Chain A
């Protein structure tokens, strides 16, 4: 399968713990996006990478959140000191570079903070 993959698919953690999610984009894509989706809402943009450079961060991305894409391939999203409000689906998408390049999404990581 050559689509976007995300791991783990599900994560249950206790409040205050740190969690890390991984996204593997489509191999030739140099743009990578993270989104968050809460119940009943559409996905909301969190951050964007072009190759290894993080070019934009949403106001939703608090100081407890950090994202990396060290070699311009896979990306990780870490949440420190998780809170119950962090419970959501975390989605990753990738695209090529161009004027109308389509973003393709992974299956998401569903986080539950107890």
Chain B
């Protein structure tokens, strides 16, 4: 079972920031938070990941709370092309080659509206 809880759906106005929350209250110290998105009929697209510090890249920002029990993915200026299902995943990491397969939940369906 997925270790994360996300809202089923969200709407966002085009040009505004989209803030997608994720709860991962049982996260362990050796687990990273990953975000992927999936546009209809395509493979999942990697967005960003983090361990405990906030992260930013060209696609998005990831804000992780100090206790690491929740996080927020921020798309700063949402466009219609950002309409997709967004998945928040926690993933175990360790040395010695953990296979680290991703466990997806149902994600949040983000609809960006004009």
Chain A residues proximal to chain B, CB less than 8 Å: 4, 31, 33, 35, 40-45, 48, 50, 55-56, 91, 93, 95, 97, 99-108, 110
Contacts and interface: CB of A to CB of B under 8 A. Distances in A.
A50 B106 CA distance: 27
A108 B42 contact: yes
A42 B106 contact: yes
Given A33-B101, A56-B101, A108-B42, A41 B106 contact: yes
A105 B99 contact: no
Interface of B: 2, 32, 34, 36, 41-46, 49, 51, 85, 87, 93-95, 97, 99-107
B46 A42 contact: no
A110 B43 CA distance: 11
